[in-house]
Amino acid sequence: MESTDLFMMRNALVDSGFKPEAAEKVVTALENGMASKIDEVMAKWESKWEAKMDLRFAAIDSKFDAIDARFKILERDMTIRLGLMLVAAIGIFATLVKLIH
């Protein structure tokens, strides 16, 4: 509630016969009650949101781990292939050198 709403509620209570102090106490109690309820709802929402985000981050982390594992396999395969190509190239070069001389 906005402060103008609370002020209007206080005035309406005073107009209906409440003492100004009593009307102020009622409005303050209502305001505090609403604030505590809002805090309670926000705390529940925050804990649910954090739980959902933790699950999503865990899923993202597992996907990154899977991608990292695939890159490690790719790196290993490429290293083996490159090494085999170098060995083959040296062998071909050595054979050509022997054939030419």
Structural domains counted in the chain: 1
* Domain with 71 in it: 3-100
Q: Tokens for 14, please give them.
A: 């005073």
DSSP secondary structure of the chain: --HHHHHHHHHHHHHTT--HHHHHHHHHHHHHHHHHHHHHHHHHHHHHHHHHHHHHHHHHHHHHHHHHHHHHHHHHHHHHHHHHHHHHHHHHHHHHHHHH-
How many whole angstroms separate alpha carbon 73 and alpha carbon 39? 50
Average pLDDT, the chain: 88
pTM of the model: 0.45
Q: What is the pLDDT of residues 4-34, one digit of tens each?
A: 777 788 888 888 888 888 888 888 888 877 7
